[in-house]
Amino acid sequence: MSFRLAVLSDVHGNAVALEAVRKAVKREKPDAILVAGDLVMNGPDPAGAVDALRDMESSGAVIVSGNTDIAVADYDYAAAFPWFSEGVPAAFQAAAEWAHDQLGDERLEWIRRLPSERRVRDGGTLVLLTHASPGSQTAGFDLDLDPSTTLERLSRTDARIICCGHTHMPNVRDFGWQMIVNDGSAGYVFDGDPTASWALVTIDGDAVTAEIKRTEYDTMTVSNAISARGLAGDVYRAATVRTGKLVR
């Protein structure tokens, strides 16, 4: 009997997109749901996103944290954004601090308790859930990454399937012995398609297949809510949601 996994990530405080994805996932009736972090920063409703995710967790969803969750929960910007050698931009800090204030103590403690990785096994098939890559919340599987670096990052785990996000660019890559399933983003995608992306993975004995799914949601409502907030950088965040392309 096959085992089916729904994988999503990078909700980024977009509760409207998350709710649309939840409905789409429910129609597929997967055996398990995996959520690969970056849950609250940038979007207009971090509290609503956390409440929905906690409800999913209570029904069995497996959830890990991402790098922006570290920024929101504890303002550890060096850990969250190590590529900014000259300091994290003020717009990033403003978004993290606003989300922090919106969440309140209980939701923040829930985020802090999330692990950085989880593993799920179906028979002899091991699945790793991580935000960026095995052992890292910040070093992702970018599509333009040097192949030797991709293979080095793959070698950090024995998992047959690595479920991740971080890049906001949905894709599936099967190397034969291992598969990367990057679901993209359920709320803040960068590939030019202004929908929410997620992935459906099917394990049938030794055979593994995965496909990217797209779910429409009301991007204009979310974009307008971001614009109305008025934080530094919100004009670019709103445009990113509206177009599905990273605008900065």
Going by C-alpha positions, the residue among 125, 118, 108 that lies closest to residue 34 is 118
Gyration radius (Cα) of the chain, Å: 17
Q: Is 97 helix (H, G, I), strand (E, B) or coil?
A: helix
Amino acid sitting at position 153: R
Domains assigned to the chain = 3-115+182-243 (3.60.21.10)
Percent of the chain with pLDDT over 90: 98
pTM here?
0.97
| Residues 171-188, mean pLDDT to the nearest whole number | 97
**Contact 39/111 with Cβ under 8 angstroms?**
yes
Pairing mode, if any, of strands 171-174 and 179-182?
antiparallel
Q: For residue 111, what pLDDT band results from cuts at 50, 70 and 90?
A: very high
Assess whether pLDDT exceeds 90 at residue 104. Answer: yes
Assess whether pLDDT exceeds 90 at residue 51. Answer: yes
> 163 is written with which tokens?
């479920």
| Residues 112-118, mean pLDDT to the nearest whole number | 98
* pLDDT given for residue 140 in this prediction: 98
Q: What is the DSSP letter of 195?
A: S
* pLDDT given for residue 141 in this prediction: 98
* pLDDT given for residue 50 in this prediction: 98
* pLDDT given for residue 114 in this prediction: 98
**What average pLDDT is seen over the chain?**
97
Q: For residue 1, what pLDDT band results from cuts at 50, 70 and 90?
A: confident
Q: For residue 54, what pLDDT band results from cuts at 50, 70 and 90?
A: very high
* pLDDT given for residue 85 in this prediction: 86
Long-range CB pairs of 50-59, under 8 A, 24+ apart, other chains included: 50/103, 50/107, 50/110, 50/111, 51/107, 52/15, 52/18, 52/19, 52/22, 53/11, 53/18, 54/110, 56/22
Q: List, for residues 60-95, the tens digit of each pLDDT value.
A: 999 999 999 999 999 999 999 999 988 999 999 999
